[in-house]
A and B are shown apart, each in its own frame.
Chain A
Amino acid sequence: MTAAASGTELFQYLLRLGDTSLVLGHRLSEWCGHGPALEEDLALANIALDLIGQARLLLQYAGTVEGIGRSEDDLAYLRDGRDYRNLLLVEQPNGHYGDTIARQFLFDAFAVELWADLTRSSDAHIAAVAGKAIKEHQYHWRHSSGWMIRLGDGTDDSHARMQAALEQLWPYTGEMLTPDDVDEAMRAARIGPDLAAIEPRWNARVGAVLTESTLTRPDDGWMQRGGKTGRHSEHLGHLLAEMQSVHRAYPGATW
């Protein structure tokens, strides 16, 4: 850890990374057995497992940094919604398959850039996780951007649904790209990236695929925020209730 950032800030930052992976991984796992085709069902389950794997490593490290003996399971299963630090975008409901793809696409465009920068993190743990995660995110991006093009430039119906999905999710994209105090502290310590530098790269990625998808980029209006500091939409509580129910009903159970 670099001296410039306090342990508390690093802990918060690790929760943001870990919780974002965990919540999105859980959301995608809700598709298991319900995908539009067997092959896509497996593809989404694969992506979900990648994300949950990342969450384990990040929350494990977060527990170490926090230093009061909490394991990754304690952090994942025994925190309530207001202690979660995931982006609001990833807790949004799955909707129809196009909604899920649009959410994934907007996130993947960010994740590919974020994790590429994190491979150069001054924090050796984060850099090691990033070395693995970046390959996963590159594949996720390929999957979601491919589907954006197929559905956006598909039938009139699929085009209209994808445009509606984009409009619905767009207000949740600002939070990813707008730095706050914790992001700034991480940047100063060279642990995290400069979000201001990621924003144009995100826009370029998203813009190129939207053009190919024949979809219209929504206007940047009011942007939702709060996930990074624990203020969530009502959807997170329901997700956590399901995700945590077994662990809370049978504390300490192993299998």
Chain B
Amino acid sequence: MSEKDWPLYEVFVRSRAGLSHKHVGSLHAADAAMALEHARDIYTRRAEGVSIWIVQSDAVIASDPSDKEMLFERAQDKAYRHPTFYTIPDEVENL
């Protein structure tokens, strides 16, 4: 292994047109161009995607796990906020 680790990147793959990019994992690379090639080799070799986004991991701003209760638990008893009262037509595959 290299003595000095390459920076970490997060990889997002769009599986097909019309869907949004989804986080699939991370990888190390020396720069953005190499990160894109590595992402292609690691995460799309079984035809998983049609588009890749790369974000340097330290650019991701994440919520603090210890804030979990304050941030998210209050939403759990508000069932009326979920659109579960509609019937979805069969033709709509991705909602």
A-to-B contact residues, CB < 8 Å: 36-40, 42-43, 46, 139, 142-143, 146, 150
Contacts and interface: CB of A to CB of B under 8 A. Distances in A.
A46 B33 contact: no
B33 to A, nearest CB: 7
Nearest to B41: A43
B34 interface: yes
A146 B38 CA distance: 12
A42 B41 contact: yes
Given A146-B33, A146-B34, A150-B30, A39 B41 contact: yes
A161 B64 CA distance: 46
Interface in B1-47: 1-2, 6, 27-30, 33-34, 37-38, 40-42, 45
Interface residues of B, number: 15
Interface of B: 1-2, 6, 27-30, 33-34, 37-38, 40-42, 45
Given A39-B38, A42-B42, A43-B37, 4 more contacts: A37-B28, A43-B41, A46-B41, A146-B37
Contacts of A43: 37-38, 41
Contacts of A150: 30
B68 to A, nearest CB: 31
A238 B29 CA distance: 34
A37 B2 contact: yes
Interface SS of A by simple majority: helix
Q: Which are the 3 A-B pairs with shortest beta-carbon distances?
A: A39-B38, A43-B41, A46-B41
A143 B42 contact: no
Contacts of A142: 37
A37 B40 CA distance: 16
8 contacts: A39-B27, A39-B41, A39-B42, A40-B38, A42-B42, A43-B38, A142-B37, A146-B37
Contacts of B40: 139
Given A146-B33, A146-B34, A36 B41 contact: no
Nearest to B34: A146
Most-contacted residue by chain A among B29, B37, B42 (CB, 10 A): B37
B29 A39 contact: yes
Contacts of A139: 40
A196 B29 CA distance: 39
A143 B37 CA distance: 8
Contact of A37 (B6, B33, B37, B45): B6
B8 to A, nearest CB: 11
B37 A36 contact: no
